[in-house]
Amino acid sequence: MRSIKQVSVGANMMPVTFNASQLDPDQEVDLPKLMAIISDCHKMVRDDRYSEQERDSYLDKAHKLAKQRDRLLGEYFTKGIAELKKANAAIKKVKDATNQAIKDFKKTADTLEQIGALINALDDVIKLLPIP
């Protein structure tokens, strides 16, 4: 069996190997909720209550979030990183907003604005990652 050398992959990153049972939820991006947001965006893309421009905006944001999800998949951070906490708080807020927007399409402008803020928050987390 090959061994993996224990090295740090970045100042805010977990070492290459670690005890997975000791990870806290605040050490990674809330990917399940992020996936639900992406799914909600795709639902709204096909919802004819929204204008074509709004549906295009939801599709664009879904694609951006999916790219960010792919970059963040499997990335774990040391505890207490402000950017990660901010991103996870934004994910929770946006998931609540998409839940409301699906029920009441009149909330779409606010929801799209919140998704844009989430994209910016995730960009800040991605900037902490080493360049692939």
**pLDDT score, position 2:** 44
pLDDT in tens, 22-31: 777 788 899 9
User: What's the predicted TM-score (pTM) here?
Assistant: 0.86
Find out whether 37 and 91 touch, Cβ atoms under 8 Å. yes
3-state secondary structure of 77: strand
How many Cβ atoms from other residues are within 10 Å of residue 124's Cβ? 14
Q: What would the CATH number be for the domain defined by 26-126?
A: 1.20.930
**In angstroms, rounded to a whole number, what is the distance separating the alpha carbons of residues 62 and 67?**
9
Of 1-5, 31-35, 100-104, 128-132, the least confident? 1-5
The domain limits of the chain are 26-126
3-state secondary structure of 93: helix
pLDDT in tens, 112-125: 999 999 999 999 99
Show the 3-state SS of 4-65. Answer: CCCCECCCCECECCCCHHHCCHHHCCCHHHHHHHHHHHHHHHCCCCCCHHHHHHHHHHHHHH
Q: What is the DSSP letter of 5?
A: P
